[in-house]
Amino acid sequence: MSCLAGLVWNEAEKMCDWKAVDSITNCYKTARWSTDGTIIVGMDSEHGSDSHHLSSPLGVFVDTHNGNNVYVADKDNDRIQKFLGSSLSSGGITVAGGNGVGSAPNQLDGPVDVYVDKDENIYIADYGNHRIQMWPKDATSGITIAIRNDTSAGVNYVSFLYSMFFHEKTHTFYLPDYFHGRILKFTNGSNNGIIVAGNNGDVSTFNSLDGPTSVFVDDCETLYVTDSGNCRIQKYVKGASQGITVAGGYGRGSNASQLNMPYGLQVDKYKNLYILDTYNGRIQRWGPNDNVGVTIIGGHDFGNAANQLMYSYSLALDSEGNIFVSDLGNHRIQKFNILPETITC
């Protein structure tokens, strides 16, 4: 089996992997993060439209290629805000939208997610306009590169656009289709989607999804899906019709083996999963082959204290392993610093 450069075939997992299984050292296996977050925007937990406020922030993205700049889909302000990695607390810069709600090329309508490529082009899941927009670096308007063009359950239609994942190496978008229980894949510039996971009813079988909210795709095009209605994370090897439960799946709850409506998900190079366990107000880390998760952030009931979350929506990691959270209910972005002394290599 051939793999992309830098990857090797893992026979046990039937997938491409970063290294041979026995040579991987999981440097973040015991890593810990500060229990209190640093607020980079939204200090008073109130919504607003100036450079130091947000209104219902949803997707958060860290550009690890360009100084760990942070981008936020500021939904109710119909804009994308950029925060410079070198001065995160200096206020946001509007880099897309911000021209009122609408469908013109320079407008957005409730953006829910954002991705920035290595050339600093910005990709936006524009919920209200049912489209994916690409804003070239420093542009004042966007270009529609994918759009739904019917109102059926066909493969060109996403009923409720929760988030997106742009797989930069293959120039493809992966969109969770919440109400139809599936993941759709769109090639950049195409309106024709392909079902790559789910679409078998809102049940808890291995080939079904119930309310998927986010997806992460690795270099081997393995999918990790937050199957929120089933309170689990499903893994789909490229081309597979059935998923493997890699976190949760033991009913809705708050113990170490359970999740409660997970929304956001990230996977690091060691295959650790970072799960935004939204209705438990916490972030769980599940290592490869773990049977239980570890609470690394939150878990202190809902609230606006520095160690609390309130219906958080998404998370992102920077190049140093620090975690950023879009804390929707508090209209803020929190940064939780990794503790260097807990990294094992």
Give domain limits for the chain.
Answer: 8-342
- pLDDT value at residue 205: 79
Q: Please give the structure tokens belonging to residue 289.
A: 């082959």
Domain 8-342: which CATH number of 3.75.10.20, 3.30.830.10, 3.50.50.60, 2.120.10.30: 2.120.10.30
- pLDDT value at residue 190: 75
Q: Is the CB of residue 269 less than 8 Å from the CB of residue 18? A: yes
Query: Is residue 232's pLDDT more than 60?
Result: yes
Query: Is residue 61's pLDDT more than 50?
Result: yes
Please state, in angstroms and rounded to a whole number, the distance separating the CA atoms of residues 146 and 150: 13
Q: State phi, psi for 14 to the nearest 5 degrees.
A: 55, 50
Higher pLDDT among residues 318 and 208, named by residue: 318
Query: Is residue 220's pLDDT more than 70?
Result: yes
Please measure the distance between the N-terminal and C-terminal CA atoms of the chain and give it in whole angstroms: 30
Please compute, for residue 332, the number of CA atoms within 13 A of its CA located in the half-sphere on the CB side.
22
Q: Please give the structure tokens belonging to residue 163.
A: 């988030």
Residue among 84, 85, 75 at smallest CA distance from 54: 75
Query: Is residue 332's pLDDT more than 60?
Result: yes
Q: State phi, psi for 238 to the nearest 5 degrees.
A: -50, 125
Q: Is the CB of residue 141 less than 8 Å from the CB of residue 135? A: yes
Q: Please give the structure tokens belonging to residue 244.
A: 């493997």
Residue among 310, 301, 298 at smallest CA distance from 336: 298
Mean pLDDT confidence for 228-249: 96
- pLDDT value at residue 184: 93
Residue among 17, 20, 24, 21 at smallest CA distance from 3: 17
**Distant-in-sequence, close-in-space partners of 278: CB < 8 Å, separation ≥ 6:** 260, 261, 262, 263, 264, 311, 312, 313
Residue among 272, 186, 266, 181 at smallest CA distance from 227: 181
- The amino acid present at 194, given as its one-letter code, is I
Mean pLDDT confidence for 164-172: 95
Q: Is the CB of residue 91 less than 8 Å from the CB of residue 70? A: no
Q: pLDDT tens digits for 126-157?
A: 999 999 999 999 999 999 988 764 455 666 66
Q: What is the length of the chain?
A: 345
Query: Is residue 215's pLDDT more than 80?
Result: yes
Count of other CB atoms within 10 angstroms of residue 127:
21
- pLDDT value at residue 257: 98
Q: Is the CB of residue 178 less than 8 Å from the CB of residue 211? A: yes
Mean pLDDT confidence for 29-49: 96
- Where does the pLDDT of residue 21 fall: very low under 50, low under 70, confident under 90, or very high at 90 and above? very low
Higher pLDDT among residues 268 and 153, named by residue: 268
Query: Is residue 11's pLDDT more than 90?
Result: no
pTM of the full predicted structure? 0.91
Mean pLDDT confidence for 315-342: 98
Query: Is residue 342's pLDDT more than 90?
Result: yes
Q: Please give the structure tokens belonging to residue 131.
A: 């489209």
Residue among 325, 322, 292, 294 at smallest CA distance from 308: 325
Query: Is residue 239's pLDDT more than 70?
Result: yes
C-alpha triplet 170, 171, 174: angle, nearest 5°: 95
Strands 273-277 and 264-267: antiparallel
Alpha helices in 67-226 (DSSP H): none
**Distant-in-sequence, close-in-space partners of 250: CB < 8 Å, separation ≥ 6:** 231, 257, 258
Q: pLDDT tens digits for 65-92?
A: 999 999 999 999 999 999 999 999 999 9
Higher pLDDT among residues 140 and 3, named by residue: 140
